[in-house]
């Protein structure tokens, strides 16, 4: 299935997954809703659902898992925008959470999104062993040896000479890890064999790197109105990116090489993965 077919289903699941809270602290749920319903490509939940489907599973039963990874991804964006991190005032064309609600409340909102994500996996109607594998995968690839570790390395790179190898190692954690998790979790929900899980993991790695390099390119070339946030922030903050190391032409060539590699990894899934192949090609040429 194409991502356009999934997005209304994903958006409805996200809205229904926001906790129903009474009392003064219901404001936390309102902040979560503001961040979750602020658009987004829904790349990670799509990958969960589509890998579940092409592995023979019922994608509807994987919806809480798809919502979980979008909750976690959204928490990472809320924290990434904080003044102590990237200090970004806008996200997807609207004020960032810390601008809208204050820095302390944005921190709490991110904490709530992160914590709720694991409860959502526990609520999914999938075999217990699959749920445990999903929790294990997500906690590993989003944690200190995954996305959080990548964010640490990203901050470290701002204060040192950084090579292309350093950039790859950073983005394998910061960006690739969560995309790998999405692909693998979809396979787990369907009870896929190890060959398919390994292929999905490799696809997520290559797609994740291509996705990040394209992001770096868009920070230089995109229309701010289409992108939904100011451009040129990386250069302004003297941030080391693929573009600053490789230049625009070589960076885009690397996007295309990694996309080709990602598509090649889908061979084990046959024609069932055609929509994923088209999706990878679309991401390589996106303008936002």
CA distance linking residue 152 with residue 113, whole number of Å: 20
| Residues 221-235: tens digit of each pLDDT | 865 654 555 555 555
| Residues 189-206: tens digit of each pLDDT | 999 999 999 999 999 999
CA distance linking residue 200 with residue 238, whole number of Å: 35
Out of 1.10.3720.10, 3.40.250.10, 1.10.600.10, 3.40.50.300, the CATH code matching 3-284 is: 1.10.600.10
Give the model's pLDDT for residue 221: 80
Per-residue pLDDT for 284 more than 90? Answer: yes
Give the model's pLDDT for residue 57: 98
Report the chain's mean pLDDT, rounded to a whole number: 92
Q: Residue 267 phi/psi, 5° resolution?
A: -55, -35
**pLDDT over 90 percentage in the chain:** 80
- Tokens 């889908």 — which residue? 266
CA distance linking residue 224 with residue 25, whole number of Å: 35
Give the model's pLDDT for residue 277: 98
Written as one string, the DSSP assignment of the chain is --HHHHHHHHHHHHHHHS----STTHHHHHHHHHHHTS----HHHHHHHHHHHHTT--GGGGHHHHHHHHHHHHHHHHHHTSTTTT--SEETTEE-HHHHH-HHHHHHHHHHHHHHHHHHHHHSSS-HHHHHHHHHHHHHHTSTTTHHHHHHHHHHHTTS---HHHHHHHHHHHTHHHHHHHHHHHHHHHT--HHHHHHHHHHHHHHHHHHHHHHHHHHHHS-HHHHTS-S-HHHHTT---HHHHH-HHHHHHHHHHHHHHHHHGGGGGGGGGHHHHHHHHHHHT---
CA distance linking residue 42 with residue 61, whole number of Å: 18
Per-residue pLDDT for 240 more than 90? Answer: no
| Averaged pLDDT, 204-211 | 97
Give the model's pLDDT for residue 56: 97
Per-residue pLDDT for 237 more than 60? Answer: no
The pTM (predicted TM-score) of the whole model is 0.94
């Amino acid at each position: 299935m194409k991502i356009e077919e999934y997005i209304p289903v994903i958006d409805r699941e996200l809205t229904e997954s926001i906790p129903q809270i009474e009392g003064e602290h219901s404001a936390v749920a309102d902040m979560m809703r503001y961040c979750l319903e602020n658009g987004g490509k829904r790349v990670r939940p799509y990958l969960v659902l589509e890998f579940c489907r092409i592995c023979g599973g019922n994608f509807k039963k994987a919806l809480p898992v798809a919502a979980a990874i979008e909750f976690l991804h959204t928490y990472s964006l809320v924290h990434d925008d904080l003044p102590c991190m990237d200090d970004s005032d806008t996200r997807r064309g609207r004020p960032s959470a810390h601008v809208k609600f204050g820095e302390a409340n944005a921190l709490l909102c991110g904490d709530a999104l992160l914590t709720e994500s694991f409860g959502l996996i526990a609520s999914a109607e999938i075999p217990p062993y699959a749920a445990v594998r999903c929790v294990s995968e997500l906690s590993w690839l989003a944690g200190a040896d995954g996305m959080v570790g990548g964010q640490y390395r990203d901050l470290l790179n701002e204060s040192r000479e950084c090579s292309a190898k350093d950039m790859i190692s950073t983005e394998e954690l910061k960006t690739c890890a969560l995309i790998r998790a999405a692909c693998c979790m979809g396979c787990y929900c369907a009870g896929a064999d190890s060959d398919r899980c390994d292929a999905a993991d490799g696809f997520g790695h290559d797609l994740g790197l291509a996705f990040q390099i394209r992001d770096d390119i868009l920070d230089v070339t995109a229309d701010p109105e289409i992108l939904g946030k100011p451009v040129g922030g990386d250069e302004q903050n003297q941030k080391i990116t693929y573009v600053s190391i490789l230049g625009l032409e070589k960076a885009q060539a690397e996007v295309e090489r990694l996309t080709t590699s990602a598509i090649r990894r889908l061979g084990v899934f046959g024609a069932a993965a055609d929509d994923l192949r088209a999706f990878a090609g679309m991401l390589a040429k996106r303008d936002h």
